[in-house]
Amino acid sequence: MIQVEVAGVSKVHLTIKGEALLALHDVNLQVMNNEFFSIVGPSGCGKTTLLNLLAGFEKPTRGELRVGGKLIGKPGWERAVVFQEYALFPWYTVEQNLRYGLRRKKIPDAEQKRLVEHYIALVGLRGFESRYPRELSGGMRQRVSIARALAVNPSILLMDEPFASLDIQTREYMQDELLKIWQREPKTVIFVTHSIDEAIRLSDRIAIMAPRPGRIEEVKLVDAKRPRDPTDPRMVQLAAEVKNWLRQRVSENEPAPVTEQAAS
């Protein structure tokens, strides 16, 4: 069942000098219910813009984004976001940050308490409940941010390079945890990353984006059971394919020809 549909979406940003910049050009996507969907591509390819449109932070210049058939409107906890910059409230403790969304959802206090405990344990931050974000390391902050988004039990989880700033061991641990949570409490995950290995390890499908203008070039299916073995020849081959493809695009240093589609 299609849950998220992006149809003919273009987004124009204005530069400081007032020039119009095509951040996204004619993006078409379908993400299925409970699918783990990754978006990879070099920086400046519009990954984050696409995520912002899905979250409802920005409106598309052309085209439509729908969730469950309904046009995406204002942001809300149904589409919780994990930000690259954590975006924790500095004036709230770890626990208060986790409770923020639960309060807005009007969840009873006892249940809030249970959920906070559960998710704090899940991201391995027991004992840090009453610390302020400023007192935590970058990796710990990111884990709070992930716990905060998970705690509101969104139907879609939007993640913007959530593990980019974690060390490799923590990152792999968090990837496994994310998969476990996703398998236990099914939800649609749209996951932006610049790590192809990460995308292959986690995703059902991977959309590859190219820059200037930002567009989706290809959607690859990762057809393998989890947990995945990164040394599996099929995984190695898939990774090599995507990496080569991206390397070419980056080294071309020239916008690829824009393919005009019938719809536009």
Partner 1 sequence: MNEDTRASQEALAGQPPRGTSPEEWAKLAASMVPPRPPAWRRVLAKIAHFWLLVAFIAIWQLASVFGQNFVPQLDVMLPPPTAVFSAALDLLRRGELITNILASLYRVLLAVGAAGVIGIPLGLAMGWLPRFRAAVDPLLEFVRPIPPLAWIPLSILWFGIGDTQIVYIIFLAAFFPIVLSSMAGARDIDPYLVRAGLSLGAGPGELFFTVVLPGALPNIFTGLRVGLGIGWMALVAGELVAAPSGLGYMINNARTLFRSDYILLGMVLIGALGLMLDFIMRQAARFVMPWHKGQ
What's the rounded Cα separation, in Å, for the pair 10 and 60? 6
Which residues bind to partner 1, rule: CB under 8 A? Answer: 55-57, 74-77, 79-81, 83, 85, 87-92, 100-101, 104-105, 132-134, 148, 152
Q: How far is the CB of 87 from partner 1 (least distance, A)?
A: 4
Q: How far is the CB of 56 from partner 1 (least distance, A)?
A: 8
Between 40 and 102, name the residue whose CB sits nearer to partner 1: 102
What's the rounded Cα separation, in Å, for the pair 46 and 213? 8
Strand partners, 110: none
Q: How far is the CB of 100 from partner 1 (least distance, A)?
A: 5
Q: How far is the CB of 74 from partner 1 (least distance, A)?
A: 7
Asked if residue 151 lies in contact with residue 120, where contact means CB atoms within 8 angstroms, the answer is no
Phi, psi of 162 (to 5 degrees): -70, -25
Between 67 and 152, name the residue whose CB sits nearer to partner 1: 152
Between 89 and 243, name the residue whose CB sits nearer to partner 1: 89
Between 153 and 195, name the residue whose CB sits nearer to partner 1: 153
Query: 151, exposed or middle or buried, with CB in 10 Å at 0-12, 13-18, 19+?
Result: buried
Strand partners, 187: none
